[in-house]
């Protein structure tokens, strides 16, 4: 799953191939691909947590992990990487998942998720 920040959703939606579905969701839109999802935000930082300095055209991304998220969290903390929030319940391209958020060195958001 990724997030894209765009000022104008409508023109972008007109150029989306038929294999991709578009759905509004809590003030933003989602592009659903066969195996992934991109969330399109129209306001900077409308979904939290967000990048430190969101800009139009920037993206956050999600990596799917197979390990237990509690174990991943402990490993990150042991290496001095502290999650922004505790593990949160989210909805991804394939349904319910649990997510953990950290910052990339450039301040962008990285979501680590595991499907339930």
Active-site residue list: 111
Helix, strand, or coil here: 75? helix
Q: What is the Cα gyration radius of the chain?
A: 15
CA distances to 2, 77, 103 from 29, rounded to whole Å, are 12, 33, 24
């Amino acid at each position: 799953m990724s997030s894209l920040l765009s000022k104008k959703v409508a023109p972008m939606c007109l150029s989306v191939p038929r294999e991709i579905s578009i759905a509004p969701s809590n003030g933003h839109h989602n592009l659903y691909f066969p195996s992934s999802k991109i969330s399109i935000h129209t306001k900077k930082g409308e979904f939290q947590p967000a990048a430190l300095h969101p800009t139009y055209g920037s993206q956050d991304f999600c990596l799917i992990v197979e390990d237990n998220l509690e174990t991943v969290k402990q490993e990150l903390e042991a290496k001095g990487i502290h999650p922004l929030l505790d593990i949160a319940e989210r909805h991804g391209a394939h349904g319910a998942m649990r997510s953990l958020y950290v910052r990339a060195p450039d301040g962008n958001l990285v979501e680590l998720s595991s499907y339930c």
